[in-house]
Chain A
């Protein structure tokens, strides 16, 4: 492991944890995460574009992203910001969406059938020897914690997922 930008990825029972060190000031890393002008430059996979990137950066505010694949397929995602502490912490809920921002199950895009309907992403930023240490946790929310329920049938998948994670 080198000090510079070594990815540490650990699997937790309910999600993913990634730690990264970026050779950039904390204020800039924060901006890259929260300013649409910056997000549009790095968020999508290679050759994807981000034709829609709306960010209402405040607790309870929503975002709406659209990633366009090279063949022109759109993948929308949305969610609510839960915690916004500039340059320190960002917490948001993440779901797949349609173009109007309505939550849809991942199966709408033919992603894994049992993907949670809502996921939570928690990112913290710390100074680290003149660099910025970022820790990201991406977890699936169990059915009980869901904010908006749009599909009753989806509960079953959640029960299965919850059972499998025990």
Chain B
């Protein structure tokens, strides 16, 4: 999910969904350095959303649509998402109960049953 949080990375994936491309081709429409674009690509590669193929000195990038990889990937994405989300829920429940102790009247009815 984090890999997709940046608009540049979503745009890169959008470009690659049209077909394979060189790093320089991907970087062209962006108003940022080749170095910065490379960093975004690296994040996408780490998330297995982008694949790199080398042909001599040229590097070609493609959106990763390997079905097995993708299947493992969405499950992994959601495992991470739920873990983080439930951490926040846990924290929230704790805060909520702390506040309730301070103001026992307010939420008392909600807690019954």
Contacts of A29 in B (CB 8 A): 93
Chain A CB within 8 A of B28 CB: no
Across the interface, do A110 and B67 meet the contact criterion of CB distance under 8 Å? no
**Chain B, interface residues (CB within 8 Å), range:** 35 or more
Across the interface, do B97 and A28 meet the contact criterion of CB distance under 8 Å? yes
C-alpha spacing A15/B76, complex, angstroms: 9
The answer, among A45, A110, A161, for a CB contact under 8 Å with B71, is A161
Q: Which residue of B lies closest to A115 (CB)?
A: B74
The answer, among B63, B70, B84, for a CB contact under 8 Å with A161, is B70
Q: How far does the Cβ of B93 sit from chain A's closest Cβ, in whole Å?
A: 4
Across the interface, do A140 and B1 meet the contact criterion of CB distance under 8 Å? no
C-alpha spacing A140/B76, complex, angstroms: 13
Chain A CB within 8 A of B92 CB: yes
Q: How far does the Cβ of A70 sit from chain B's closest Cβ, in whole Å?
A: 8
Chain A CB within 8 A of B32 CB: no
The answer, among A7, A24, A71, A114, for a CB contact under 8 Å with B70, is A114
Across the interface, do A160 and B67 meet the contact criterion of CB distance under 8 Å? yes
Q: Which of A1-32 contact B (CB under 8 A)?
A: 5, 7, 9, 11, 15-16, 18, 20, 22-25, 27-29, 31-32
Q: Which of A120-166 contact B (CB under 8 A)?
A: 134, 136, 138, 140, 157, 160-161, 163-165
**Given A16-B78, A16-B79, A110–B90 Cβ distance below 8 Å?**
no
Chain A CB within 8 A of B4 CB: yes
Q: How many residues of A are in contact with the other chain, CB < 8 A?
A: 47
Q: Which residue of B lies closest to A160 (CB)?
A: B67
Could you list 30 A-B pairs, sorted by A, with CB under 8 Å?
A5-B90, A7-B83, A11-B75, A15-B78, A18-B86, A23-B94, A24-B93, A24-B94, A24-B97, A28-B96, A32-B89, A38-B96, A41-B92, A42-B85, A42-B88, A43-B85, A71-B6, A109-B4, A110-B4, A110-B10, A111-B74, A112-B70, A112-B77, A113-B17, A113-B65, A114-B70, A114-B73, A115-B70, A116-B74, A161-B67
Chain B residues packing against A (C-beta within 8 Å):
1, 4-7, 10, 13-14, 17, 49, 63-65, 67-68, 70-71, 73-75, 77-79, 82-86, 88-94, 96-97, 110-113
New contact pairs (16) apart from A71-B7, A113-B17, CB-CB < 8 Å = A9-B82, A24-B94, A27-B112, A28-B97, A32-B93, A42-B85, A45-B1, A45-B84, A109-B10, A110-B10, A111-B77, A112-B49, A113-B64, A138-B82, A157-B67, A163-B67
